[in-house]
Structures are given as structure tokens and as C-alpha cells.
Structure 1
Amino acid sequence: MKIIKYLFFLLLIIVIGGAVYITITDGKYQAEESRVIDAPDELLFNTINEYKTWEKWGPWMDDSDDMIMEYASQTSGDGASYSWKSETQGDGSMKTVKAAPFTSIDQKITFITPMGESISNVYWKFEKLEGKKTKVTWGIKGEQSFMEKAFWMTQDSTLSQSIKPMYQKGLEKLDIFVNEKMKEHSVSVDGITEHRGGYYMYSATASPIADISQKMAQMLPAVMAYVRQNNLPQTGMPLTIYNEFNEEQGTAIYSTGIPVRDEVITPADSNIRCDFLPKQKVVKTTLKGDYANLKEAWEAGYKYINDNGLELSETSSAFEVYRVDPGLQPNPAEWITEIYIPIK
């Protein structure tokens, strides 16, 4: 009997000692992962801010076939939320506490466990880098309960160590998801229409075809600045007129401009000029997507002209109008470019 009592008291001392050790152990934890993604900060912010996209790139989706997502009436911005149920992953919910465009998002996540509710703070940070790249940081922090600390003391890794690989995987999937979305595009030939024309302020140059995008990025801001500085009423979206386009030699002469209401006489030494685009019959083609797909759109327009026995105008140049451009929409898949090819 004495041995049994001794073993009982020894066990009691171990239990009490273990409980004291668990109690005084710091339960605070934090884990975060970062990844540089070749996408605009605004696009990444908008993707993460919308909970309905999470099932497309969330790292836990690969590990659960029975997860059921339930969305609240509001799924983006402050107060947005969603919840999930899963026998393999457990139940839980997420709520956006604060979304600060396009720099950070603060969320609160709740896990329903056999030990009760476990609540932690989730945070996102978006750092704009050069070349439209963004450093995305995904983190979580909180404090473990007594039972949670006891559980993780029996595991081979800490809670933070178990979270980091999942966040790393999630950021990799986010990178793939966003870049695939940016590649989506469509081309539609809208057929024969009439372009109303009008005055436009422009800057002209000649360059290799490969340098057109780079040159336009320098020219258009200069024209826009002139229009604004002189309080000229803008009547349309930016455009580029291709005065000459020689694919054999790989060169082009073109003008980048802004439509305005009235004719403007500029100083003789000014790089910014005013011209008039006549009302004319054209074949219109619309590209929705990245400018990398412009060649496909132009070819579709010319194919329509050939297939329908139409004749190109000998006096007017073809042009592009940037109906939705990067200044209005960060996602290249949402850019809208209208191509107008004058015909007789």
C-alpha cells in the first residue's frame, strides 16, 4: 500500500508540475510568409479582399474533399465574412476587420475545436515594388489556451512551424491563380461601323515596332499633362494612330494622343500638336485582355476585311482606342482596346 501511495503522490506531483509548466509557458505565437508576385498590388489586394476567390487558391482546399463554404451577404471589405465546415479540417469562420486599399488587410479567424473556439488575428501586407511586382506578406498571431499549449507540447513541431508551410503553399497558389487570371483574353470583330472622329492632341515619333510600348509610356503622359495644364476638355480615351507600320523592316511611325473638344494652336517649337480625325467608315475589333494579344486582334480585323471583300482606305490610318487601360484597371484581363481599320 505504501508503494501505491508513493506512486500516486509521485504521479500527482508530475501532473501538478506539468500543469504549472504549461501555465507559465508563453502561449503567444506568430507565423508569416512572404512572396514577391509579378502582379500589381491593387489586383492582389482585390483578389484577397474578396473571399469568394479563396477557394481557388486556399492551401487547405487540396487537403479536404468535404469542405463546404458558406458566404455572408458581404464577401469583401470591412465586415465581410465566410465560414466553412469539414470533418477532416474542422469548422471555422473568417471575418475582415479592416481593409486598407492597397496596403493591408486585417482579419479575425475562428477555429471550432474539441477544446472550444480558438481565435487568432490574420494579417496581409502589400508592398509595391518596381516593374509592377508586389511583395505579399501573409501572417497570423494569437495566444494559445492551456489545452492548446498542452496539445502542441506533444507534437514534433510548434504551432507556428506547422502554419508556415501552409502559408507558403497558399502564396504559391495565389501567384499561379492571379497570373492565370491576367492571361485571360477575348477578341471580337464588331463589324462595320462609323467612327465620329474629332480633334486630338498628340505626340508623334518613329521607332522599331518592338519599342512601341516603351515609347508610348513616355509620350502619353506628356500629352495628358499638356491637356490638363491647359484645361482642355477631354472628349475621349487615349488613342494611337499608326501612320506607317512596316513589319518587313520592323519599324513604325505613329502618334499617341488624347481627343479634345476644340482645335488648339500650339507653339511652333512644341512637341505636342493638334490634328483632326475625320468621320469615317471603319471595321471595329475589340480586344479584352493584355496588350500582348493585340497582334491576334489586328489579324482578326484584317481577316474580316478580306473575308468580306472590303477595301482598305488609302487616305486614313488605322488606330487603337484604349477604352479601359492600366490607369483604370490593374488586371490586364480587364483592359479593353478598340481597333479601328478605315475602309472605303
Structure 2
Amino acid sequence: MKILKYILFLLLIVIVAGGIYFGTKDGTFDVANTKVFDAPAEVIYNNVKDFKNWESWGPWAEEDANIVYNYAEKTEGEGASYSWTSAVMGDGTMQTVKVIPNKEIDQKIIFNTPLGDSESDIYWRFEPAEEAGKTKVTWGMKGEHSFLEKVFMSFQSEDFETVLRQMYGKGLDNLEEEVGKSMNAYTVTVDGLTRYGGGFYMYNTTSSKLSEIGEKIGPMMGQLHDYMTQNNLSMAGMPFTIYHEIDEQNGTVIFSAAIPVAARVITPKGSPVLCNYMEPVNALKTTLKGKYENLSQAYAQAEEYLKTNNITVDPSRDMFEIYANDPGMEPNPANWVTEIYIPVLTPSMSGLN
């Protein structure tokens, strides 16, 4: 009996000592991972803000392919929520409690565990990176483990913070891939023959290598914009580029950057910015939605359409591209719209859009 008493006494000491140890052990945690994305903050934020998008990049799907998601009526913005059921990951819910568009998202997450419900804070931060056009994205979770959770964590083979940090790192890698896909998506539509109405436009002209057009068009448009601002001239349409002469053999081009205006503008002698008038023209219209680097694909489809339909290009007129929306107002290049007009010779106006 004395031995049993001693054993019970020792067990009591162990239990008390363990209670003191785990009770005084700091259970607070703040675990995050950070990655620099080659993308604007708005594009990344627009993906993260909607819980429905998380299925495509969430790292937990790799742990349980049979995880079931249940979405509330509202899945983005303050008050948005969703829940999940998983035999592997456990059940839980998440709710968005605060958003600062393109900068911050704060959320509450609740895990339903055998040890009871566990609530923590999730946070997202979208900050400008040192390199222009890139964004530093931070995804983290902070909270405090309960007494039982501290005991449970102490007997796990893997450290809680290490596992969580690795999971967030994988999630950020997946998210980066999804964002990249969304930014590189493009479509080409050959709209068919149309009649472009023409009109007055301000312009400047240069020659360059074909590979340098992208580098030169920005400063040229900037010069036009500054001139029009200084002279109180309003845009009467979206900016466009006119291709006067293309030498594919030597890889050179002569082109103009242009902005439509409502009426003729008399410019001073020696001005680098001039005014001209484009006559109405019959043309094949092709629309690219996506990055400008995909223009070659759009031109290839336009040329194939001309060939297939035996349509002759008008050699006396210059082809041109209209930039139907402003890249400065649309951060995702997949949504940039470029309209290509190739002047054509048509026997009649039938079939024109």
C-alpha cells in the first residue's frame, strides 16, 4: 500500500508540475510568410478578397482532395464568410472583418477541434516592393493557444509555427502562379469588316526598330498628353498608333502616336506635336484583349482572315491600333483592349459592321 501511495503521490506531483509548466508557457503566436509578386497590388488583392478564389490556390487542397467548401451569400468584403468540412484538415469557418482595398485584409478563423473551438486572426498585407511594379505580399495568422492546445502541441513531432509558415509559403507560391495566369490570359477576336469614321488628331512621329516600339510609344504619348494639357485640348477618343511604313526585312518602322481631338488645331512652327485629319476608311477590325506583347498573334489571325476571305489590303492607307482602355486605370493587363484596323479595298459596303 505504501508503494501505491508513493506512486499516486509522484503522479500528483507530475500532474501539478505539468500544469504549472504548461499553464505558464507562453501560448501566443504570430506566424507569417512573405513573397514578392511581379504584379500590381490590385490584381493580387482582387483574387484574395473573394473566398471562392481560394479553392484554386489554397495549400490545404493538397492535403485533402475531398475537402468540402460551403459559401455564404457574400464571399468578398467585410462580412464575407465561408466554411469547410474535411476528414483530414478538420472543420472550420472564416470571416472577413476588415478590408482596406489593395492594402489590407483582416479575417477571423475558427477551427472546430476535439479540444474545442479555436479562434485566431488572419491577416493579409499588400505593400509596394522596392522594384517598381512589384508587390510584397504577407499572409499570416496570430492568436493564443489554449492550455489543452499547448499540451497537445508539445507532443507533436513537427513544430506548429514551422508547419504553418511552410503552408503559407506554399499558398503564396500557388497564388503567384494563379495571378500570373490571370495576367497572361488573352483573347483575339476578328470582328470583320467595318467603317472607321476618321477625324482630327494630334500626333508626333518617329522611326525605330520594330522591337523598340513598346519603349518609345510611352514617352511619345506622354509628350502628346502634356501638349494637350498645356493648351487646354480635350481628347475626343482613345489614343492610337499609326503605322506609316514597316520594313520587316530590316526590322524597322516609321509610326506616329496619336490622340483624337474634336477639331483642327493650328500648332506653332517647329512644334514636335502636329495636327492631322484621318479620312473615313473601310477596314478589317481585330480586337486583342490582353498584353500588347500578344499583338503579333492578333495580326497573324487578321492576316489569315484576309487571305481566307480574299480581301485585299488598301496599300494607300496606313493601318492603326486604338488602345480602347487606359492601362493606368486597368492594372490587370489581361483586360487591356487593343483594336487593330487594317484598311482594305472593298467592292461594296455590304458586310460592313
**Greater CA deviation, 326-335 or 294-303?**
326-335
The residue that corresponds to 1:28 in the other structure is: 28
Contact 1:289–1:334 (Cα < 8 Å) also in 2 = yes
Listed as ranges, the matches of 1:198-209 within 5 Å are 198-209=199-210
Cα separation, 2, equivalents of 1:190 and 1:218: 30
Moved more, 20-29 or 181-190: 181-190
Return 5+ residue gaps in structure 2 as ranges: 346-353
RMSD of the TM alignment (CA)? 1.5
The equivalent of 2:348 in structure 1 is none
Tell me by how many angstroms 1:192 deviates.
Answer: 0.5
Question: 3-state DSSP class of the match of 1:228?
Answer: helix
Amino acid at match of 2:302: G
5+ residue gaps, structure 1: none
2:349 corresponding residue in structure 1: none
Residue type at the aligned position of 2:40: P
- In structure 2, the partner of 1:80 is 80
The 3-state SS of whatever aligns with 2:313 is coil
Letter in 2 for 1:88: V
Question: Which residue of structure 2 lines up, in the alignment, with residue 307 of structure 1?
Answer: 308
SS in 1 for 2:324: strand
Letter in 1 for 2:18: G
Aligned position for 1:8: 8
In structure 1, how many angstroms separate the alpha carbons of the residues matched to 2:326 and 2:91?
Answer: 42
2: distance between equivalents of 1:83 and 1:228?
Answer: 52
User: Could you list the per-position Cα deviations for residues 3-23 of structure 1 after superposition, in whole angstroms to 9, with x for gaps in the alignment?
Assistant: 111111111111011111111
How far is the alpha carbon of 1:65 from its aligned partner?
2.0
SS in 2 for 1:226: helix
Aligned letter for 1:237? M
Closer, same or farther: CA 232–303 of 1 in aligned 2, 3 Å: same
Residue 18 (1) aligns with residue 14 (2) = no
Q: Does 1:333 align with 2:314?
A: no
Q: Which residue number in structure 1 is paired with residue 58 of structure 2? A: 58
Deviates most, 248-257 or 220-229: 220-229
2:98 partner SS: strand
Distance 1:203 1:98 in 2: 48
Counterpart of 1:110 in structure 2 is 110
- Residues 173-222 of structure 1, C-alpha deviation per residue, up to 9 Å, x if partnerless? 11111112222211111110011111222222111111110111212222
Amino acid across the alignment from 2:239: P
| Aligned positions of 1:1-344 closer than 5 A | 1-129=1-129, 130-344=131-345
Helix, strand or coil at the partner of 1:87? coil
Q: Offset at 1:255?
A: 1.1
Paired with 2:222 and 2:12, the residues of 1 have a C-alpha distance of 78
Task: State the Cα distance separating 1:170 from its structure 2 match.
Answer: 0.6
Q: Distance in 1 between matches of 2:227 and 2:115?
A: 66
Write the distance in 2 (CA, Å) between the matches of 1:89 and 1:296. Answer: 45
Q: How many residues align?
A: 344
Distance in 1 of aligned mates of 2:110 and 2:232: 54
Moved more, 107-116 or 218-227: 218-227
The answer to whether the Cα contact below 8 Å between 1:29 and 1:159 also exists between their aligned partners in 2 is no
Q: What amino acid maps onto 1:329 in structure 2?
A: E
Residues 32 and 209 of structure 1, relative CA distance in 2, 3 Å threshold = same
CA displacement at 1:131 relative to structure 2 = 4.4
Residue 333 of structure 1: how far off its partner (Å): 1.7
Question: CA offset at residue 137 of structure 1?
Answer: 1.3
Normalising by structure 2, report the TM-score. 0.93
Structure 1 residue 325, shift from structure 2 partner: 4.1
CA distance in 1, matches of 2:119, 2:167: 18
Report deviation, 1:72. 1.6
CA distance in 1, matches of 2:209, 2:127: 34
Could you give the per-residue CA deviations for residues 252-283 of structure 1, whole angstroms, max 9, x where no partner exists?
11111222212222222332222222211110
Q: Offset of 1:66 from its aligned partner?
A: 1.8
